[in-house]
Amino acid sequence: MFKKIDHLGIAVANLEKAIKTFELLGFKVAGMEEVPEQKVKVAFLPVGESNVELLMPTDEKSTIARFLMNKGEGVHHLAFLVENIEEKLAEFKEKGFTLIDEKPRVGAHGKKIAFLHPKSINGVLIELCEVVGDGK
C-alpha cells in the first residue's frame, strides 16, 4: 500500500533559523525550493530514504501560515509515498476517510500530492505523494 514514509513536514516561522537549529542536530540541507501553488518555501533534510521537510509560509493566507497562527511551530503532516495517487484517494474515500483533496495537486519536486483530513485519522494530517516523471 505505502511504499515508504516520504517526509515529515514541520511548519516553521523562520526557515533560516530552523535550518541552523536542525544543522546543530547533525542534519544537512539537501535542497530548498519555493512551491508557489502551496505558498511555501521548503528545505529538505534527508534521513535515510526519507526527509524532514521544513515549511515556511510565503503568504499570510497560506495553510502553513494559518497553522502557525493557530498552533505555532511544529509537526504539520506525515507524508507517504504511493503509486497511483488517484486510485488511493478513491480507495480511502470509499473506506470513509475525509479527503481534503479529491484530486491531486502539485507539490515540491513536482510530485502529485493530496491530503487526508486529520479528523479521519486520529488527529494526524496525512499527505499522499506520488513521484511524477524523474522527480525525487
CA 46 to chain centre: 14
Tens digit of each residue's pLDDT (9 = 90 or more) over 44-76: 999 999 999 999 999 999 999 999 999 999 999
Q: What is the pTM of this model?
A: 0.91
More confident residue, 37 or 128: 128
pLDDT for residue 135? 53
CA atoms of 105 and 113, how far apart (whole Å): 5
**Number of residues written out for the chain:** 136
DSSP state of 73: S
The structural domains of the chain, ordered by start, are 4-130 (3.10.180.10)
CA 73 to chain centre: 14
Q: What does the block give as the cell for 93?
A: 474515500
CA atoms of 136 and 129, how far apart (whole Å): 11
* Closest residue by Cα to residue 10 from 98, 127, 99, 112: 127
pLDDT for residue 134? 63
Report in angstroms the alpha-carbon separations of 71 from 41, 57, 74, 133.
Answer: 19, 14, 8, 35
Handedness of CA 46, 50, 54, 57 (dihedral sign): positive
CA 58 to chain centre: 15
CA atoms of 108 and 110, how far apart (whole Å): 5
- Grid look-up 535515510 returns 48
pLDDT for residue 133? 76
